[in-house]
């Protein structure tokens, strides 16, 4: 059986950086990230009211598990059917799940939806990263990923604050439905975007059969390792930051996300070109060290000053980490399997977040409040391991510091000295 995609029109990637398609993609990303992030701060208490306090760690873990499992499939479909239909599918999942949360009000119904909801971030970001790499010059990928990340970060910033406001002043159901509406708007924007994959294929279910070499892209192993170690801290933050906020008397549990995302926005605006200029690896080493510092501050955060300082450092680190690791993956990838490489990178993200969420949830249930500090401590140690790996890579693997400049069809240095 063959199902034809409604997004079959193909265009050749243009040389311009900030095209109409780029801005449409950025707005769509804002709506998408706000859609799924607005409910995150309220979900632990919501699940507790449903009678599932012991499953709090699964809120993020189930979501990221499905996202990780779907990455190889989304990578293959992105490289065959096209970038735009995969992005639209991810937003569609957010729309459906947001609409259904108010009607599945048992613990297992809720957890099932979280599992399905993960397909959204398992598909859209993979295709989005490949789309951006298609339409921007190789030597400006860091800048482009940073600018796109501005819109994503704004969604991640405003989403939790809006979600907590809606849940507090209206109801959880209103929050879920607004989340669904944001996703629907994201789909509407995607429908007007041209496809950048030149030789597209109609979707058929046979494409979902993966060969061994289609699951994991070996070229993306270095970014995979770094992102796996970095993203453990994200799983910890998503799971226990609301508990730490309550301990410090902060009623709006989404404010930490707002503060760190504002810091991320500022960093992206000021330093978006830094990895293009100084190299991916050194920039990642510095930003990951800042991530470790933020985790250390959260371990000892017994005052609001320390708490908000940690939020700022956390945002600064991810303001550089996200666009730089995406650009690094694009540098190392082959243009014909770029979707697979991006999927491999995102598998690391989902795995790290999932492990962080499960670990933090286990510590919280078995150690109590001390589990909060322990969770942040583990996240900090893993971030330091990532710094060590990057320093080793910088010194010992110079042959992998190069990337292809497709426009000029020649090799250029990304990191290190000529």
Please give the domain boundaries of the chain with CATH numbers for all domains.
17-202+215-403 (1.20.1250.20)
User: 398 falls in which pLDDT band (50, 70, 90)?
Assistant: low
Dist. CA 215–CA 10, nearest whole Å: 26
Residues 6+ apart with CB under 8 A from 159: 33, 34, 35, 36, 37, 38, 40, 254, 257
For Cα atoms 317, 402, 285, give the angle at the middle one, nearest 5 degrees. Answer: 20
Mean pLDDT check: name the lowest of 92-101, 102-111, 262-271, 404-413: 404-413
pLDDT confidence bin for 16, thresholds 50/70/90? low
Please write the tens of the pLDDT for every residue from 160-185.
888 888 988 898 999 999 999 999 99
Long-range contacts of 409-417 (CB under 8 A, 24+ apart): 412/138, 412/139, 413/279, 414/279, 414/280, 414/281, 414/328, 414/331, 415/279, 415/280, 415/281, 415/282, 416/279, 416/281
How would DSSP label each residue in 121-161? HHHHHHHHHHHHHHHS-GGGHHHHHHHHHHHHHHHHHHHHH
Each residue of 325-362: pLDDT tens digit? 888 888 887 777 777 888 888 888 878 988 898 888 88
Number of CB atoms found within 10 A of residue 80's CB: 17
The reported pLDDT for the residue numbered 247 is 84
Reduced to 3 states (helix: H, G, I; strand: E, B; else coil), residue 294 is helix
Residue 192 has which token pair?
């007007």
Mean pLDDT of 249-271: 81
Residues 6+ apart with CB under 8 A from 384: 289, 292
- Give Cα 189 to chain centroid, integer Å: 20
| Position 150 pLDDT exceeds 70 | yes
- Number of neighbours of residue 40 by Cβ within 10 angstroms: 24
Give the position of tokens 């070996």.
218
Encode pLDDT of 270-327 as tens digits.
877 787 888 888 899 999 999 999 999 999 988 999 999 999 999 999 888 888 888 8
Mean pLDDT of 253-264: 81
Determine the pLDDT at residue 227. Answer: 94
Residue 32 structure tokens = 């998408």
Q: Is the pLDDT of residue 68 over 70?
A: yes
Averaged pLDDT, 224-242: 90
pLDDT at 407: 38
DSSP string, 326-387: HHHHHHHS-GGGHHHHHHHHHHHHHHHHHHHHHHHHHHHHHHTTHHHHHHHHHHHHHHHHHH
Of the candidate ranges 81-85, 133-137, 148-152, the one whose mean pLDDT is the lowest? 133-137
3-state secondary structure of 195: strand
Residue 57 vs residues 21, 75, 248, 354: alpha-carbon distances, Å: 38, 27, 21, 9
CA atoms within 13 A on the CB side of 330: 31
- Compare 349 and 18 and report the one with higher pLDDT: 349
């Amino acid at each position: 059986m063959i199902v034809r995609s409604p997004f079959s029109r193909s265009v050749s990637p243009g040389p311009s950086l900030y095209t109409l398609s780029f801005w449409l993609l950025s707005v769509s990303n804002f709506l998408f990230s706000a859609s799924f992030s607005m409910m995150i701060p309220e979900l632990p208490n919501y699940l507790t009211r449903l009678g599932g306090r012991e499953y709090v760690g699964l809120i993020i873990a189930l979501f990221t598990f499905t996202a990780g499992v779907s990455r190889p499939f989304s990578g293959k479909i992105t490289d065959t059917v096209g970038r735009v239909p995969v992005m639209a599918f991810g937003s569609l999942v957010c729309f459906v799940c947001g609409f259904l949360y108010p009607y599945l009000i048992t613990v297992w119904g809720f957890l099932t939806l979280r599992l399905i909801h993960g397909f959204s971030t398992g598909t859209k970001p993979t295709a989005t990263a490949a789309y951006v790499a298609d339409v921007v010059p190789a030597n400006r990928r860091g800048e482009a990923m940073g600018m796109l990340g501005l819109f994503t970060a704004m969604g991640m910033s405003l989403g939790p604050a809006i979600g907590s406001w809606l849940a507090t002043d209206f109801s959880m159901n209103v929050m879920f439905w607004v989340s669904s509406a944001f996703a629907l708007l994201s789909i509407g924007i995607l429908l007007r975007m041209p496809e950048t994959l030149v030789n597209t294929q109609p979707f058929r279910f046979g494409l979902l059969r993966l060969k061994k070499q289609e699951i994991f892209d070996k070229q993306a192993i270095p970014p995979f390792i770094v992102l796996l170690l970095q993203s453990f801290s994200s799983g910890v933050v998503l799971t226990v930051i609301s508990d730490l906020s309550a301990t410090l008397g902060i009623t709006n549990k989404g404010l930490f996300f707002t503060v760190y995302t504002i810091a991320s926005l500022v960093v992206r605006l000021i330093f978006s070109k830094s990895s293009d200029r100084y190299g991916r690896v050194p920039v990642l080493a510095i930003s990951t060290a800042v991530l470790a510092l933020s985790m250390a501050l959260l371990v000892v955060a017994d005052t609001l000053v320390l708490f908000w300082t940690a939020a700022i450092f956390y945002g600064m680190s991810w303001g550089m980490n996200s666009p730089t690791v995406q650009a690094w993956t694009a540098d190392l990838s082959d243009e014909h399997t770029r979707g697979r490489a991006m999927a491999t990178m995102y598998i690391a993200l989902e795995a790290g977040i999932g492990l962080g969420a499960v670990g933090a949830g286990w510590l919280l249930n078995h150690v109590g409040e001390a589990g909060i500090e322990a969770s942040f401590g583990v996240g900090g140690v893993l971030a330091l391991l990532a710094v060590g790996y990057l320093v080793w890579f910088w010194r010992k693997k110079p042959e992998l510091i190069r990337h292809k400049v497709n426009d000029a069809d020649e090799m250029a240095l990304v990191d290190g000295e000529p």
